[in-house]
Structure 1
Amino acid sequence: MAALPGSKAPFWRRAPKLILRPLDYFEDNYRRYGSVFQVGASSPPSIYVADPVVIQGIFQADAAQFHVPAQNVGSGLTFLLGNQSLLLLDGERHRRHRRLLMPPFHGDRMRAYGDVICTLTQQAMADWHPGQAFNLRAAMQDITLRVILKAVFGLADGDRYDRLRQLLSQLLEGLGTPLSAFFIFFPGLQRDLGPMSPWGRFVRIKAEIDALIYAEIDDRRRHPHPDSTDILSLMISARDDQGQPLSDGELHDELMTLLVAGHETTASALTWALYWVHWLPEVGDRAHQELDRLGPDPDPLAMASQPYLTALCQETLRIYPVAPTTGIRIVSEPMTVAGYEFPTGAVLFLNIYLVHHREDLYPEPDNFRPERFLERQYSAAEFLPFGGGHRSCIGMAFALMEMKLVLATVLRQWDLALPERDRRLLKPVRRGLTLAAPGHLQLVPTARRVVPPQAAFA
């Protein structure tokens, strides 16, 4: 195979820009080398892909064509998720876990969570007061953590719930700085130098979280709740083709995956959505008009099915996707896709951000315009905020529904405004492996909203 174009600089030279200025890193390479390019001089190569035709071929290929690396950025996540997380499994183990985890995310189950999401959002907003600015990211993290603890564990109060909320918030804040990304990309830095050191604090917080999760698993096994609809109860009762359940260790790692990935990523997306709604008045006006037409007490599913609200969430996930690339795929045997030859061992990064900013797919891609999703449909290789193929995000339906219902509940109940300092175009910053809005972003409640009855819109 002829070498693909790309930078031959070693990783240690590329890493600072990738970590601290990731969008510049991706865009610079795209402008120089095109939509499929190699980074570094290693053999087998590391390759970024931003061509939808190539991505479609990868998504449609047999799962056996790829595997996840044993030691990579993904395994750098083992300290957080455990080595039995769905994100880090491969082959038959990955297929088994995916089959066991699918039932809780079935459409019927999702509908049961609608009222819960709206209620928990309202409870979190009880602390908002007119004229008192609040940190937007912290507020969205509070809501999504309440939702995930209720949906995953069935917990909404009690000592264990309170402690998990506190510890998970501390854990994720500790991993939420650009500096923390160096611990992920360079696992050799993960050294416990005592309780006051950055990694030492993380290790101790994580150990306490683990103990709480294992205690909850033990309680559920000893005192099952057959009628419970929370995800943990459904996971404990699930059996594979041989009639075997998930072990305590497997349950722990999947629960950590759901808690971290399901909470953190949705909070980031909601932060961006509320920023765009209040930075672009025409977006907020149209969203309010659509939601107000539903009257004062709409069904959650009616809210979640509103077309402009859906388009608003899709455009939020397009312009600044929380994860800039999909999970790593390593080619298991030589393959050719759309004229590109990928050798055994090639490391593929499907670049979500670059695909979402292609001019041929999204004219004026740097402009936030939800209408584009009402004007055309995009294929799974053109709009891929949750990845795709056999490794697509298992919680995609839940995340989208939660995002729409939280956003709708907030917009229907409060008029909010951006402080003067944040009335400008903001760019994402590195937050661990993900991208997020700047942490200082605030909103100011100006007044509670009163939604008129549906008859007013007749």
Structure 2
Amino acid sequence: MKQVESLKTPAWWQRIELILAPIGYWERAFESHPEAFWAKGIDWGSPLMMFYTPQAAQQIIENRDKHLGIVSFPGELTAIFGNNSVATSEGDRHQILRKILMPPLHGKLVRDYGKLICDVTHQVMQQLPMNQPFLAWEVAQDITLQVLIEILFGSAQKERYQHLKNLIVSLLNLFAAKTTGFPLLRFFPKVLGKRNLGQKFLQTRQQIEQLIYAEIAERRTYLEPDKTDMLSLMMLFRDEQGQPLTDVEILDNLLLLLSTGNESTTAAICWSWYCVYRNPEIQEKLLQEIENSGDCSEPISLYRLPYLTAVCNETLRMYPITMFILPRGIKTPTEIGGYELQPGNIVSISNYLLHRQENLYPEPNKFKPERFIDRQFSAYEFMPFGGGIRSCIGDELALYLMNLILATIVFNYQFKLADNQSVKPQSRNAILAPVGLRLVKQDC
């Protein structure tokens, strides 16, 4: 068996490095440990071993039920979306929740939102002033949340939903300000109840709960069986014993999608803008493909454009939203990637490092969309949304949003980066975000 090694620096310093220079942390680990290492800087309560080869990824994904089990989320993450969501459930309950939540986020129902995505994008873009820098994060988040609220509640126009949108933005900003980044999450309870930020976080979370519970109570008086929004589907569900989901389960799953779904999709959209607008030749090639497609008004036609898809995939390869997938706990002694692991150990896959394996992606630090046209990558070579039965439930919606928003903007508007220097990826909650990215809308 291979010997397991750790980084030489102390765990406390690794945590600081993960906050202040996350890319440096991962690249330094990759240099000295080409397959796996003990990631002491990531505090998940037990020793965590990080893998990043396709072979190890396949073993972890395929052996989950036999040798691996769910591990408790840090309490600070559940401070936002509770303990009863699809992300924190296991076994039959996990399967039930996925079955309920999947339809509005996949297939025909997602494609039906194409016009909405394009319309919301136009609405937000047209409100931007000319020749003035704007924060990409705020604009992308505005688009994403409006679409998410439509999918979750069936409408984004109701005053209650607009209030909810503003509260979600405040909650996530407060959480980011208080925790600074994912590696410090375990310090969050020590400061949550102290100072104004912690108190405001709790108050904002309570306001969100009240709004959602009020919506649930109101829906019970006129619930329509043919509705396909997420809230209606959850309220209509009955298990084999005829039992519905509890209000707490409904609340937690809505909050999961409104928080992590919004943060991850917003980051993906911002990274796509950064990658395209710092590469004029890619922007021009993308514009030509859209112009030559023949029907720029049909969302599904835009979504299927090969170069557009390759640009979005290459964005997610270089800047996966999270730098590792949800960890799993070892239940019985097992071997992964030639390393022996024991019960009590935790394992994960660093998709960030997997996507930088040179044998898979030559010149991995270069943005080259053509690699996704020239080659088909397996599910264990390209993992922007995790894999297996616990992969990101909103992966199809996230890609649809990325593609349509990028195509709509490139075809209809003229933008440039406000600053020519490179954007430094930073931790925002559990997300790898282009903090500070600014663009400028110009006259066409």
Relative to the length of structure 1, the TM-score reads: 0.91
Residue 445 of structure 1: aligned partner: 441
Alignment of 1:198-213 (within 5 A): 198-213=197-212
Distance 1:396 1:101 in 2: 12
Shift of 1:295: 4.2
Residue 311 of structure 1: aligned partner: 310
Q: Secondary structure at the match of 1:348?
A: strand
Residue 81 of structure 1: aligned partner: 81
Residue by residue, what CA displacement relative to the aligned partner does 1:363-400 show, whole Å, maximum 9, x if unpaired?
Answer: 11111111110010111111101001221011111111
Shift of 1:284: 0.3
Letter in 2 for 1:38: W
| Equivalent residues of 1:427, 1:438 under 8 A apart | yes
Residue 357 of structure 2: aligned partner: 358
Letter in 1 for 2:123: Q
| Equivalent residues of 1:4, 1:37 under 8 A apart | yes
Residue by residue, what CA displacement relative to the aligned partner does 1:202-251 show, whole Å, maximum 9, x if unpaired?
Answer: 11111111111111122222221333322211222233343332111101
| Equivalent residues of 1:44, 1:343 under 8 A apart | no
Distance 2:186 2:432 in 1: 15
| Equivalent residues of 2:76, 2:189 under 8 A apart | no
| 1:112 correspondence with 2:141 | no
Distance 1:131 1:40, change over 3 A: closer
Shift of 1:183: 5.4
Q: Secondary structure at the match of 2:335?
A: strand
Distance 1:57 1:268, change over 3 A: same
Residue 454 of structure 1: aligned partner: none
Letter in 1 for 2:277: H
Report which stretch shifted further, 269-278 or 216-225. Answer: 216-225
Distance 1:27 1:131 in 2: 37
| Identity %, equivalent residues | 38
Alignment of 1:31-430 (within 5 A): 31-40=31-40, 45-70=47-72, 72-73=73-74, 75-177=75-177, 179-181=179-181, 184-193=185-194, 197-295=196-294, 297-419=296-418, 422-430=419-427
Distance 1:111 1:39, change over 3 A: closer
Shift of 1:296: 6.2
Report which stretch shifted further, 307-316 or 18-27. Answer: 18-27
Distance 2:275 2:186 in 1: 31
Distance 1:297 1:25 in 2: 42
Distance 1:305 1:171 in 2: 35
Distance 1:68 1:204 in 2: 30
Q: Secondary structure at the match of 1:314?
A: helix
Q: Secondary structure at the match of 2:220?
A: helix
| Equivalent residues of 2:151, 2:230 under 8 A apart | yes
Distance 1:187 1:135, change over 3 A: closer
Q: Secondary structure at the match of 1:378?
A: coil
Letter in 2 for 1:136: A
Shift of 1:162: 1.9
Report which stretch shifted further, 1-10 or 371-380. Answer: 1-10
- Please give the root-mean-square deviation of Cα atoms over the aligned residues, in Å: 2.1
Distance 2:136 2:260 in 1: 19
4+ long deviations beyond 6 Å:
41-44
Q: Secondary structure at the match of 1:77?
A: helix
Letter in 2 for 1:12: W
Shift of 1:322: 1.2
Unaligned runs of 5+ in 2: none
| Equivalent residues of 1:279, 1:424 under 8 A apart | no
Distance 2:167 2:254 in 1: 15
Distance 1:62 1:428, change over 3 A: closer
Aligned residue pairs: how many?
Answer: 441
Distance 1:241 1:311, change over 3 A: farther
Shift of 1:281: 0.3
Distance 1:20 1:233, change over 3 A: same
| Equivalent residues of 1:7, 1:39 under 8 A apart | yes
Q: Secondary structure at the match of 1:88?
A: coil
| Equivalent residues of 1:175, 1:431 under 8 A apart | no
Shift of 1:96: 2.4
Q: Secondary structure at the match of 1:86?
A: coil
Relative to the length of structure 2, the TM-score reads: 0.94
Shift of 1:356: 0.8
Unaligned runs of 5+ in 1: 449-458
Q: Secondary structure at the match of 1:341?
A: strand
Distance 1:246 1:51, change over 3 A: same
Distance 2:212 2:50 in 1: 37
Shift of 1:405: 1.0
| Equivalent residues of 2:272, 2:315 under 8 A apart | yes
| 1:15 correspondence with 2:11 | no
Letter in 2 for 1:427: K
Distance 2:275 2:62 in 1: 34
Residue by residue, what CA displacement relative to the aligned partner does 1:148-191 show, whole Å, maximum 9, x if unpaired?
Answer: 11111123223212211211111122233485326523244243
Residue 453 of structure 1: aligned partner: none
Letter in 1 for 2:395: M
